[in-house]
Amino acid sequence: MKSIQFLFLFSLLISYGCNEKATQVKEVKFVKQNQYSSKKIIDLSHEFSKETIYWVTAKEFKLDTVFKGKTDKGFYYSANNITTAEHGGTHIDAPIHFAEGGQSVDEIPLKKLIGHGIKIDVSEKALNNPDYLISIEDFTNWEAKENIKIPDGSIVLLETGYSKYYPDKIKYLGTGLRGPDAVKLLHFPGLSPEASEWLVKNRNINAIGLDTPSIDYGQSEYFKSHVILLSKNIPAFENLTNLDKLPSNNFEVIALPMKIKGGSGGPLRIVALLNN
């Protein structure tokens, strides 16, 4: 009899435990739905393919098919080998790219790569001038219009409009040629060194990105904006797309690069989460 009583108590405990667990699971699901199903996800990355645009001196993307089709055991199988430079297509520049002793791509804290996003649209000016330099005024104009300072910890995205030319190399880079001699033929907009300096001195941003091949403009010789930003551990995202689909404020960015140990940069999958 005692053992029957014990069994009853035991099963009661089990069912109580299970119920409690079930409630917990329900709650977790509910929170998840609230966080993500209510958001619109915008892909800010270009795909990697034969068309992917690389710096004119960098090795381009290559995909070799290892196998594709039905195996002799009857199941389908597909696998490829890929080759790519770190800096091509949608990618990240890690601090060590232009700052000795700076963080490599695997060392960038994830907190810098996930967070509040703002967008500054300079496309009207940049599409009319392939050598356009994004200025301090572009930032202060945004702040005046939004009636706020660029919030601390922001991921700042700069829309030049150049993504619409991608992957047309002549329109996007200013030249279809490759190799060291092609560097001086590059024409596309970028961030002025003065504006980079202003940002690091006066605002406290986590990362920056734009829809051109480089944070410095095409005609840059000394890549000063790279040096200024990366020396302060502010990573840069390059060759972004779909920035025209973003509002100017109040969205989230998730930017997760390939975790290359010691890497100076790497392929980047970056998305924005918008409130519906």
Residue length, the chain?
A: 276
Where do we find the tokens 């079930």?
A: 22
Number of chain residues interacting with Zn ion (CB under 5 A): 3
Residues 246-265 that bind Zn ion (CB under 5 A): 265
By beta-carbon distance, which residue lies closest to Zn ion?
A: 87
Nearer to Zn ion, 265 or 267 (CB): 265
Nearer to Zn ion, 174 or 251 (CB): 174
Least distance between Zn ion and beta carbon 162 (Å): 15
- β-pair partners for 207: 155
Nearer to Zn ion, 54 or 165 (CB): 54
Nearer to Zn ion, 159 or 216 (CB): 216
Task: Name the one range near Zn ion by CB under 5 A: 80-88, 115-123, 147-155, 182-190.
Answer: 80-88
Strand 190-191 vs strand 265-275: parallel, antiparallel, or unpaired? unpaired
Nearer to Zn ion, 55 or 142 (CB): 55
Least distance between Zn ion and beta carbon 56 (Å): 13
Angle formed by the axes of helices 193-202 and 224-231, to 10°? 10
Q: According to DSSP H, which parts of the chain are helical?
A: 2-32, 110-113, 123-126, 136-146, 169-173, 193-202, 224-231
Least distance between Zn ion and beta carbon 53 (Å): 12
Task: Name the one range near Zn ion by CB under 5 A: 70-78, 84-92, 185-193, 239-247.
Answer: 84-92
Least distance between Zn ion and beta carbon 97 (Å): 6
Least distance between Zn ion and beta carbon 258 (Å): 13
Q: Enter the tokens of residue 138.
A: 């572009």
- β-pair partners for 116: 252
Least distance between Zn ion and beta carbon 87 (Å): 4
Binding mask 86-125 for Zn ion (x = CB under 5 A): -x-----x--------------------------------
Contacts of 112 (CB under 8 A, 6+ apart): 206, 207, 233, 235
Nearer to Zn ion, 142 or 162 (CB): 162
Cα-atom radius of gyration of the chain, to the nearest Å? 24
Give the span between the Cα atoms of 119 and 14, in whole angstroms. 53
Least distance between Zn ion and beta carbon 91 (Å): 6
211 is a contact residue toward Zn ion (CB under 5 A): no
Contacts of 224 (CB under 8 A, 6+ apart): 193, 196, 216
Buried/exposed code over 198-216 (b: 16+ C-beta within 10 A; e: otherwise) = bbeeeeebbbbbbbbbbbb
**Which residues would be at the binding site for Zn ion (CB under 5 A)?**
87, 93, 265
